[in-house]
Chains A and B, each alone.
Chain A
Amino acid sequence: MMNGRVRDRILTTAAEIFHCPEQAVAQASALEDLPGWESIAHLNFILALEQEFGCTFTDLEVERLTSVPAIIDVIDGKQRG
């Protein structure tokens, strides 16, 4: 349940930042594969996630933010603290 909400928020955020439908984000195995992906957009996406979830990622966490399941994992880990 909690995972589902986190997932939805990630999909909405990614869809806005990469200018694509949420479905496309859900289906992409890696964010890099999205047509709207480039390095500045990825930076914007990391910042948008921090704004959405009210957190700051460490270097190690940032490196893992490459796909939706991995992001859920990182955010879950942070929220469990």
Chain B
Amino acid sequence: METDLKRMLEIAVAAGDKAAGVAALRRVFGDRPSLANAQLVLKHAKQLGGENAREEFKVAVLRAYTVEPMLPLLEAYAALAGLDLRVQVGEFNTYMQDILNPDSWLYSFLPRMIILAVQTRDLLPALCDRAAELTPADSNKLVDDALRQLRHLLDIVSSRCKASVIVPTLDIPPYPSAGILDAQAPWGQRAAIDAFNHGLREIAASATGVYVVDMEALAGRFGRSRWYDEQKWNMARLPFAADALPEIAREYFKYVHVLSGKLCKVVAVDLDNTIWGGIVGEDGMDGIQVGLDHRGAAYLQLQRVLLDIYHRGILLAICSKNNREEAMAVLEKHPRMLLRPSHFAAMRINWEDKARNLREIAAELNLGLDAIAFVDDNPAERDRVRQELPEVQVIELPDDPALYASTVAQCPYCERLSVSDEDRDRSRYYAQERQRRVAQLATNSLEDFYRSLKMDVEIGEATPESIPRIAQLTQKTNQFNVTTRRYSEQEITAMAQQTASRVYWLRSRDRFGDNGIVGVGIARLEGDTCTIDTLLLSCRVIGRTIETALLAEIATQARADGARYLEGRFVPTAKNAPAKDFYARHGFTRAEKDGNGASRWRLDLAQSVLNWPEWIDRAGVLQRS
């Protein structure tokens, strides 16, 4: 099997067929993510990804053990996702100096992500070496001191750089010092490590840009007795066994994936033999398998995973070849189904080509094709979509339906590092949006339509509560976004604190419901000119003049701050055509155009007025925080 794939790879490389080459590499490495196959991926990644330059992503590793054998694996995962990982590794056990020294390589390297590769023996050494001698008070103090020191180090990192820091939970020793008694002892190793891990979660919850990687859970999932390798520890200060390395790399890759902003926004699923067993058109509603019996359980489990994904704010869609009535009957009436029609933001249940249906789903939801993940049991359909729509993330399902759920659950594309209230309510918004479209058809003029929406808009300046959502919008908004600048929470916080700059959020409501925070504006005052660094609107609310309200508010505030001119830049991307005429439509004149097609626009505030649209009510009064 692997030799066949490698032959396919050689043929593809020789023929210069990049798509086939990448597909073969993905299969080879996906089937067996070994160190040898990682090198194979890295050897070919440069040639095969040659045309579109891969995005660089810098990772710093601060460590107390040998991490080097994990790095080719992590780099290979990243390469297959179109990322060029640059990794720099600190010296052994110098992670504190690396953090404390302001001139350290860590800060000049400017990493996006920092991996803190430490273990229980590093952070709680006494708990490993002489646990039997410790009193309960000793072990409490050990844990408190370790957490205090960690919090201090993380504070220093976040004050000096913008990287996200990934901190591991600590793991229990495979054989605790007190033997079986450790399980119940309130002062044992297990209890102390639980307390530490609990404290670590609290740190992550209160700090921005600190995330926990659950190494303890990972060891448990894999099997702790096979996870560690004493021989490698003694020989090379590598704690982990050879087979554990791909698991660790894959887990860290999920963080790389999310932080790089490559996020899936909709999962499109097939129906027959994917979310239920059997073919409804042949077996009938009574004949399909879904539920608690042994064959139906696997499909029910996949539905559970899809529901988890839905609650993270990722939309679900159906892309399936069925008779629509039969499929809808199952979705509406089958007693065992977890997924119902209301969970799906778009449906294409017909006999058309799936690539075409996916294109339509993307258009209907106002999303790019690269925001779609596709789940289908049929390898031919997956191949077809992969060839026709290389941007779509096709999830490679194994042959055994029992493994469908865990395969989708492991997909890095569907991971999130935060879930906001807006995320949780997203699918409801889309259902409302379908109603709005119906309303638009029923009204005559555009202005009547705006009025019929009964919109109100609230604009405020960034607060600690709104900053995660503001950062998230800068990272995810592609269409109505004049400059498409991506900012982390730390960067937004920094800008909000500067007196010369203002960071605005915009919240909108209409007669169909509350849309939440859907707009962001960032403006900076220099001399007599207020420059708009960022102005964006979620695609949910495009085309309703809400952008005019945001611009009017920025102009009013700029005038109050003493600005004579309001300036903005438009930087074209593959996706932001909806914002192309934004400045021209609002009376700005073009000041200049640079080589990349970006343009600078200017408005004389003394001579022009930007009016708040009369059909939008204002909720709340803008206050400087």
Binding site for B on A (CB under 8 A): 12-13, 16-17, 19, 40, 43-44, 46-48, 50-52, 56-59, 62
A58 to B234, CA, bound (A): 11
In the complex, which of the residues A56, A57, A59 has the most CB atoms of chain B within 10 Å of its own CB atom?
A56
CB <8 Å contact, B36 and A12: yes
A48 touches B234 (CB 8 A): no
Known: A12-B36, A44-B69, A56-B229. A51 touches B242 (CB 8 A): yes
Taking CB atoms, residues of chain B closer than 8 Å to A56 are 229, 231, 241-242
Given A16-B37, A17-B39, A48-B36, 6 more pairs with CB closer than 8 A: A44-B35, A44-B68, A47-B35, A47-B69, A47-B245, A59-B231
20 contacting pairs across A/B (C-beta < 8 A): A13-B36, A16-B35, A16-B37, A16-B43, A17-B35, A40-B68, A40-B69, A43-B68, A43-B236, A44-B35, A44-B72, A47-B242, A48-B242, A51-B32, A51-B34, A51-B243, A52-B34, A52-B36, A56-B229, A56-B241
Distance in Å: Cβ of A25 to nearest Cβ of chain B: 12
A50 to B232, CA, bound (A): 12
Is B394 in the interface zone, CB < 8 Å from A?
A: no
Contact pattern, B 219-255, Cβ under 8 Å of A = 1, otherwise 0: 0000000000101101110100111010000000000
B231 and A19 form a contact (CB under 8 A):
no
B19 within 8 A of A: no
B243 contacts across to A, CB distance below 8 A: 50-51
List of A residues within 8 angstroms of B235 by Cβ: 59, 62
Question: B66 contacts the other chain (Cβ, under 8 Å)?
Answer: yes
| A43-B242 Cα distance, complex, nearest whole Å | 10
Nearest 4 pairs between A and B by C-beta?
A: A50-B242, A48-B35, A16-B39, A16-B36
Which residues in chain B, 183-241, are within 8 Å of chain A measured between CB atoms? 229, 231-232, 234-236, 238, 241
Select B238's contact among A19, A43, A51, A62, beta carbons within 8 Å.
A43
- B40, A16: Cβ atoms closer than 8 Å: yes
Bound complex: CA of A52 vs CA of B34, how far in Å?
Answer: 8
With a cutoff of 8 Å between Cβ atoms, the chain B residues found around residue A59 in the complex are 231, 234-235
> Which residues of chain A are near B35, meaning CB under 8 Å?
16-17, 44, 47-48, 51
Assembly CA distance A60 to B24 (angstroms): 38
Contact between A58 and B72 (Cβ–Cβ < 8 Å)?
no
Chain A residues whose CB sits within 8 angstroms of the CB of B236 once the complex forms: 43
Q: Which residues of chain A are near B229, meaning CB under 8 Å?
A: 56
- Complex contacts, A40 vs chain B, CB 8 Å: 68-69
Complex CA distance for A62 and B231, rounded to whole angstroms: 9
Cα(A46)–Cα(B232), bound, Å: 10
Write out the residue numbers on chain B whose beta carbons fall within 8 Å of the beta carbon of A46: 242
Complex alpha-carbon distance, A48 and B242, angstroms: 7
Name the A residues within 8 Å of B68 (CB-CB): 40, 43-44
A17–B37 CA distance with the chains assembled, in angstroms: 9
A20 to B245, CA, bound (A): 23
Q: Which residues of A contact B245 (CB under 8 A)?
A: 47
Out of A12, A13, A43, which one reaches B66, CB within 8 Å? A43
Give complex CA distance A71, B265 in Å.
49
Chain B window 44-84, contacts with chain A (Cβ cutoff 8 Å), 1 for yes, 0 for no: 00000000000000000000001011001000000000000
Closest beta carbon of chain A to B87's beta carbon, Å: 13
Q: Which of A17, A19, A44 has the most CB of B within 10 A?
A: A44
B72 to chain A, nearest CB (A): 7
A residues less than 8 Å from B36 (CB atoms): 12-13, 16-17, 48, 51-52
Q: Report the Cα distance A19→B43, complex, angstroms.
A: 9
Alpha-carbon separation in the docked complex, A59 to B68 (Å): 20
Instruction: Report the bound CA distance from A16 to B72 in whole Å.
Output: 12
Q: What A residues does B238 contact at CB under 8 A? A: 43
- State A40–B235 Cα separation when bound (angstroms): 12
Q: B414 → chain A, closest Cβ, in Å?
A: 27
What B residues does A43 contact at CB under 8 A?
Answer: 66, 68-69, 236, 238
Docked CA distance A56–B234 (Å): 14
Q: How far is the CB of B43 from chain A (nearest CB, A)?
A: 8
User: In the assembly, what is the distance between CA of A52 and CA of B243, in Å?
Assistant: 10
Measured between alpha carbons, how far is A52 from B234 in the docked complex, in Å?
A: 22
| Whole-angstrom CA separation of A47 from B242 in the bound complex | 5
Q: Report the minimum CB–CB distance from A9 to chain B (whole Å).
A: 9
Closest Cβ of chain B to A18, distance in Å, is 9
Task: List, in ascending order, chain B residues with CB within 8 A of A52's CB.
Answer: 34, 36
The interface centre, meaning the residue of A17, A40, A47 with most chain B CB atoms within 10 A of its CB, is A47
Please measure, in the bound complex, the distance between the C-alpha atom of A78 and the C-alpha atom of B72, giving whole angstroms.
Answer: 27
Question: Once the chains are docked, how many angstroms separate the CA of A3 from the CA of B34?
Answer: 22
Q: Which residue of A lies closest to B238 (CB)?
A: A43
What is the CA–CA distance of A43 and B43 in the complex, to the nearest angstrom?
19
Cα A57 to Cα B229 with chains together (Å): 10
- Chain B residues within an 8 Å CB radius of A12: 36
Q: Residue on B with the closest CB to A51?
A: B34
Residues of B within 8 A of A48 (CB): 34-36, 242
How far does the alpha carbon of A50 sit from the alpha carbon of B226 in the complex, in Å?
Answer: 13
| A-side contacts of B40, CB under 8 Å | 16
Q: Tell whether, in the assembled complex, residue A19 and residue B39 are in contact, meaning their CB atoms are under 8 Å apart.
A: yes
A3 to B216: give the CA distance in the assembly, Å: 40
Inside 8 A of B34's CB, which chain A residues have their CB? 48, 51-52
Return B77 CB to nearest CB of chain A, in Å: 16
Chain B: minimal CB distance from A67 (Å): 18
Q: Is the Cβ of A58 less than 8 Å from the Cβ of B231?
A: yes
From residue B461, how far is it (CB to closest CB) to chain A in Å?
Answer: 50
Give bound CA distance, A16 to B35, whole Å: 9
